[in-house]
Structure 1
Amino acid sequence: MRPWRRGLVLTALALLLGLLMLFHAQVTDRGGLGSLVESFLPWFGLLIPVLLAGALWRRSASALVALLLPVVVWLSLFGGLLVDKSRPGSDLTVATHNVNADNADPAGTARDLAASGTDVLALEEITPQAKPLYEKGLAKAYPHHTVLGTVGLWSKLPLSDIRRVDIQQDVGPLGEAKPADVTLPDNRALRATVATDHGPLAVYVVHQGSVRLFPQGGFWTGSRDRGAQALAKAVAAERNERVVLLGDMNGTTDDRAFDGLTSQLDSAQDEAGDGFGFTWPAKFPVARIDQILVRGVEPRSAWTLPATGSDHLPVAAGISW
């Protein structure tokens, strides 16, 4: 019986790890704790081999058995991302990229994106200074485009019904309120219709509010969460049955803040990607916060594009009718 009595602390840690991943939605979001856990949920799997090594070193049978719980839970959550689910035969390719307001080479970024060959391209965090450089660099590849505030859409196909989508924060991190009749000039979302051979496609370009880590306030996500709620309402009211949402969401699809969106839209990366598709930070991506979400069309493939001068990686997807 001694192997079953050894490593009781390791046994408890293995069970706690499994229960945390299994019931992550029940973790309190006070101080943004729940969002923080869910943003990095796949990385909890790295604790499994650490606990396994400890269980083998201690020769603990109970710890080895307890490890089955986190292994099964992790595989049920993320095992599907370990295989390539891409398929040939897409009708349209779309991409999105947060180009970074501090990008030192907007012209080079534009050249790289134009060379990607995607049909529809969304950009976020466009500054007034960099806007002419993106317009010039992308003009030949994309004859149709629109920029509203800090977000823009470039397309090989005609665009129409272009309008702003107000997802601005109404209360800041210090509690200041945004007047009800004010739409801030740095517009962060737009909606347009792309004319395709298969009919109109509604495309949303979004840059959700940032998250902040405060020493006393915790992981602050208020602006982003309210923006996600506003965006979910806009998508729910969308009359076009075919919808593609492109943008920097400042959160992963595991984050409960996006339940209103993920209940309506499917993730192209989850449905047709190869791997986790992490996009940020570009030098060592640890989270997929740049998303391509769809409704009424079928993702056939999804991938990350090579790094540009931004701190995000671009993401692309092929979709089919």
Structure 2
Amino acid sequence: MELLSNQSFLHPTVLLTGIPGLQARNIGVSIPFCFAYAVAVLGNGVVLLVIVKDQSLHKPMYLFLCMLAVSELGVSLSTLPTVLGVFLFDAREIGLDACLSQMFFIHCFSIMDSGVLWAMALDRFIAIYNPLQYTTILTNLRIILLGSGIALRSILLMTPLPLLLRRLPFCRSNVLAHPYCLHPNLIQLPCADTTINNQTGLFVVLSTFGLDSLCIVLSYVMILKTVLSMASKEGRFKALNTCVSHICAVVLYYTPMIGVSMAHRFGRHNSPMLHSLMANIYLLVPPILNPIIYSIKTKEIRKAFGRFLSQQRLI
């Protein structure tokens, strides 16, 4: 009996939370969330399908966009079951192992997102700096290796975090502030020293999001330097125009992330509702808007989508 009690102590049930202050309106809140997830999954799914099906889009820029769609689908589908479970069925309980697994996949796909955005910045730099050798530098093999490296980095860096958490005893009120499991929230639950967990988490953040954002900034410094050296005003405008979609994707991704990080560190006295809304914006807005932005700003994708619809009608 004592053994069972100790096991329950070490591996408790975690309680998820909807948006604080709106728990009584979960059904109403679920409507915009269902719509947001539908748009995110459908948008990224369509982009992925169109690029895979259309041979004319099997180029570096679109292959990286394909990777971005995969990682954003991963983020959306990782959070979808528990978010809709909390809002639609008030299913708040989740086992610790399931919670740690969800945490792993959410952060893993988020890290992949960041890595792909850096790879897309590299793609834009090579296309503008050395356009004549663009396809010979970014061959399909190198793109596959780069994508595999980004995915492997995410898995290797994220694997220690759930393992380090699982070894700790959980004896406080195991209530999370969101309808899904994130490392910054889970790390507050154990009643033991979490110094190693904090240091490992900080290392993961700095070696992924920190390094990627620095590389993106450096890429755009080099892009601006190259563009400003062009003699033709039309050429400068055309070169910068190819970067607009990527710049929007970077802003959409990093701005909510910085906001959530700042709120966790310096805004602990802010309303819990604000923290919850910011976390949901961070995870939902980029997957919703990125397919729309790329579809609007990229003529080749619009044409490919039109060809795809025409083929479906003929079938």
TM-score of Structure 1 vs Structure 2, range by shorter chain? under 0.3
TM-score (norm 1): 0.25
Structure number with higher strand proportion = 1
